[in-house]
Structure 1
Amino acid sequence: MVDLKKIQEARCRIQSVIESNPLSFAPKLSQEVGAQIYLKKENLQRTGAFKIRGAFNKIANMNEEERKNGVIASSAGNHAQGVAYAASYFNIPSIIIMPEATPLLKVIATKKLGAEVILAGDNYDEAYAHALKLAQEQKLHFIHPFADDEVMAGQGSIALEMIEEEPQINLVLVPIGGGGLIGGIASAYRALKPDVRVIGVTAKGAPAMRESFKARSIQKVDSVRTIADGIAVRDVNEKNYRYICEGVSDIVAVDDEEIASGILYLLENQKLVVEGAGASVVAALLHKKIDLKLTDKVGIVLSGGNIDVTMLNLIIEKGLIKSDRKMKFKVILIDKPGSLQKLTDTLTQVGANIVQIDYDRVSTSLDYGDASVTLALETKGKDHKEEIRFKLLERGYKFNEVI
Structure 2
Amino acid sequence: MVAPHRKKSVVHHNPHDHSHDSTPQKNHHNRVKAAERKRTVSISKEDGIEYNKRLRKLHKEFLNQTEDGHDSEERPRSASNSDVELPILDPDCDPENPKKVTFSEISSAAFNIKNGVQRTPCVRSLQLSTKFEMDLYFKKEYLQVTGSFKERGARYALSKLSSAQKKGGVIAASAGNHALALSYHGQQMSIPVTVVMPVIAPLMKIQFCRSLGATVIIKGESIAVAKEFALKHGRENHLKYINGYDAIDILAGQGTIGLEILEQVPDVDTILVPVGGGGLIAGIAVAVKTLKPEVHIYGIEAETCPSFTEAYKAGHVVNAVAKASLADGLAVPSVGGNSLETSKGLIDKVITVKEENIALSILRLLEVEKAVVEGGGAVGLAAILEGKVPELKGKKVVSILSGGNIDSTVLGRSIERGLAVDGRLVRLDVVVSDRPGGIAELTTTIAQLGASIKDIFHERAWISADVFHVKVKVVAETRGKDHVEEMETALKKIYDNVQLY
TM class by smaller structure? 0.7 to 0.9
Shift of 1:284: 1.7
1:124/1:232 contact within 8 Å kept:
no
* Offset from partner CA, 1:182-217 (integer Å, 9 cap, x none): 111112123222232222112222222211211223
| Corresponding position of 2:131 | 32
Does residue 106 of the first structure (1) align with residue 205 of the second (2)? Answer: yes
Distance 1:327-1:90 versus aligned 2 partners, 3 A rule: same
Please tell me the residue identity of whatever aligns with 2:121: P
| Corresponding position of 2:62 | none
Does residue 145 of the first structure (1) align with residue 244 of the second (2)? Answer: yes
Please tell me the residue identity of whatever aligns with 1:297: K
2:338 to 239, 244, 249: 239
1:193 to 292, 296, 300: 292
| Corresponding position of 1:180 | 279
Q: Which moved more, 1:380-389 or 1:331-340?
A: 331-340
| Corresponding position of 1:169 | 268
Unaligned 5+ residue runs, structure 1?
A: none
| Corresponding position of 1:42 | 141
- SS in structure 1 opposite 2:115? helix
Distance 1:97-1:335 versus aligned 2 partners, 3 A rule: farther
| Corresponding position of 1:51 | 150
Distance 1:255-1:129 versus aligned 2 partners, 3 A rule: farther
2:189 to 80, 90, 115: 90
Shift of 1:306: 1.1
Shift of 1:83: 0.7
- SS in structure 2 opposite 1:251? strand
Structure with bigger RCO (C-alpha 8 Å, 6+ apart): 1
Shift of 1:370: 9.8
| Corresponding position of 1:326 | 425
* Offset from partner CA, 1:78-99 (integer Å, 9 cap, x none): 1111011011112333222233
- SS in structure 1 opposite 2:164? helix
* Offset from partner CA, 1:70-124 (integer Å, 9 cap, x none): 2221123111110110111123332222333333443343333333333444443
| Corresponding position of 2:232 | 133
Distance 1:397-1:346 versus aligned 2 partners, 3 A rule: farther
| Corresponding position of 1:219 | 318
* Offset from partner CA, 1:234-274 (integer Å, 9 cap, x none): 11322111001143223222122222222222222222111
Please tell me the residue identity of whatever aligns with 2:479: K
Distance 1:46-1:360 versus aligned 2 partners, 3 A rule: farther
1:224/1:233 contact within 8 Å kept:
no
2:408 and 2:471 map into 1 onto residues whose CA distance is 30
- SS in structure 2 opposite 1:292? helix
Shift of 1:369: 11
Please tell me the residue identity of whatever aligns with 1:302: L
| Corresponding position of 1:79 | 178
1:322 and 1:356 map into 2 onto residues whose CA distance is 18
Does residue 23 of the first structure (1) align with residue 122 of the second (2)? Answer: yes
1:125/1:234 contact within 8 Å kept:
no
Please tell me the residue identity of whatever aligns with 2:307: A
Distance 1:383-1:304 versus aligned 2 partners, 3 A rule: closer
Distance 1:8-1:259 versus aligned 2 partners, 3 A rule: same
* Offset from partner CA, 1:138-195 (integer Å, 9 cap, x none): 3222121011121111111111111112221132221111111111111212322223
Q: Which moved more, 1:6-15 or 1:171-180?
A: 6-15
1:213 and 1:15 map into 2 onto residues whose CA distance is 32
2:468 and 2:237 map into 1 onto residues whose CA distance is 67
Pairing of 1:319-398 with structure 2 (within 5 A): 319-329=418-428, 341-357=440-456, 374-389=473-488
2:173/2:230 contact within 8 Å kept:
yes
- SS in structure 1 opposite 2:235? helix
1:54 and 1:124 map into 2 onto residues whose CA distance is 19
1:172/1:299 contact within 8 Å kept:
yes
| Corresponding position of 1:5 | 104
Distance 1:371-1:223 versus aligned 2 partners, 3 A rule: same
1:281/1:301 contact within 8 Å kept:
yes
- SS in structure 2 opposite 1:172? strand
Q: Which moved more, 1:325-334 or 1:25-34?
A: 325-334
Q: Which moved more, 1:324-333 or 1:96-105?
A: 324-333
Please tell me the residue identity of whatever aligns with 1:240: S
Please tell me the residue identity of whatever aligns with 1:376: V
1:177 and 1:45 map into 2 onto residues whose CA distance is 19
TM-score normalised by the chain length of structure 2: 0.71
Shift of 1:359: 7.3
Q: Which moved more, 1:142-151 or 1:46-55?
A: 142-151
1:120/1:126 contact within 8 Å kept:
yes
TM-score normalised by the chain length of structure 1: 0.87
Distance 1:359-1:110 versus aligned 2 partners, 3 A rule: farther
* Offset from partner CA, 1:321-362 (integer Å, 9 cap, x none): 23222223456889997665444334333333223345789x
| Corresponding position of 2:362 | 263
Q: Which moved more, 1:201-210 or 1:122-131?
A: 122-131
Q: Which moved more, 1:381-390 or 1:240-249?
A: 381-390
Give % identity. 38
2:430/2:495 contact within 8 Å kept:
no
Larger Rg: 2
1:76/1:229 contact within 8 Å kept:
no
Distance 1:399-1:132 versus aligned 2 partners, 3 A rule: farther
Please tell me the residue identity of whatever aligns with 1:314: R
1:104 and 1:32 map into 2 onto residues whose CA distance is 38
Please tell me the residue identity of whatever aligns with 2:190: N
| Corresponding position of 1:301 | 400
1:125/1:233 contact within 8 Å kept:
no
Please tell me the residue identity of whatever aligns with 1:311: V
